[in-house]
Structure 1
């Protein structure tokens, strides 16, 4: 019984090591290209200097996207609880929430934060 268990463990170890070695050999890239090997983040070169000024417009667009992304997760439950709550309180809560978001969007638009090109 112990001999059979040790043989099974040995075979499992050899097969798993062989699969890992074959996978690492096959996964090597044959052509090394600097552009293909570098990750793309935020529109700047990650291998360059870290002291390059960061685009504030890109940051503002990303923050606005996150705000509206979270807004969707907050508005979706409103449709689900429509039949469970008072229609007047539901309408006031939903309208005030949308009004605050639209006012913030208008404020960003009036300040020029949404204009990507000068």
Structure 2
């Protein structure tokens, strides 16, 4: 019974997605303009070579941002069930925060947060 239900749900999902794509293709406006194929940034046409090196600082800053963004993703569920976890949960999240703060201090000392 479960496998039959799975097949029905799978076929229904595939059919609905295919129908949505087909209807979107039918009613979407069509305009073939050569400008649509050009790459641009901020509406300004590119000049010269578009492949260029960026400073490593941009990547380090992005990685640090992602690290602390992921931290908030982990902190929210923890905050929701804090009372149920007890002291063990508090100690584990304090350890997690300590590791992240040490990482931030290390990046700060190395100058990864400075725009030079």
Q: Structure 2 length as normaliser, TM-score?
A: 0.61
> What is the root-mean-square deviation in Å for CA atoms of aligned residues?
3.0
User: Which whole-Å deviations, capped at 9, do the CAs of 1:64-107 have from their partners, x for residues lacking one?
Assistant: 01101111111111111212222x11221111111110110010
* TM-superposition CA deviations, 1:15-50 (whole Å, max 9, x none): x86x54xx224x859xx6xxx95146xxxx697253
The verdict on how the C-alpha distance between 1:62 and 1:47 changes in structure 2, with shifts beyond 3 A counting, is farther
1:1-118 equivalent positions in 2, closer than 5 A: 19-20=27-28, 23-25=29-31, 37-39=39-41, 48-50=49-51, 52-86=52-86, 88-117=87-116
- Counterparts of 1:60 and 1:39, CA distance in 2: 23
- Return structure 1 stretches of 4+ with deviation > 2 angstroms: none
Q: Closer, same or farther in 2 for the Cα pair 1:75/1:47, shift >3 Å?
A: farther
Structure 1 counterpart of 2:14? none
Q: CA deviation at 1:53?
A: 2.5
Per-residue deviation at 1:54? 2.3
User: Aligned to 2:30, what secondary structure does the other structure show?
Assistant: helix
**Separation (CA, whole Å) in 2 of partners of 1:64 and 1:46:** 32
SS in 2 for 1:114: coil
Q: Structure 1: 5+ residue runs without aligned partners?
A: 1-15
User: Unaligned 5+ residue runs, structure 2?
Assistant: 1-24
Give distance in 2, aligned partners of 1:49 and 1:84.
54
Pick the structure with greater CA Rg. 1
TM-score where L is the length of structure 1: 0.60
Q: How many residues align?
A: 87
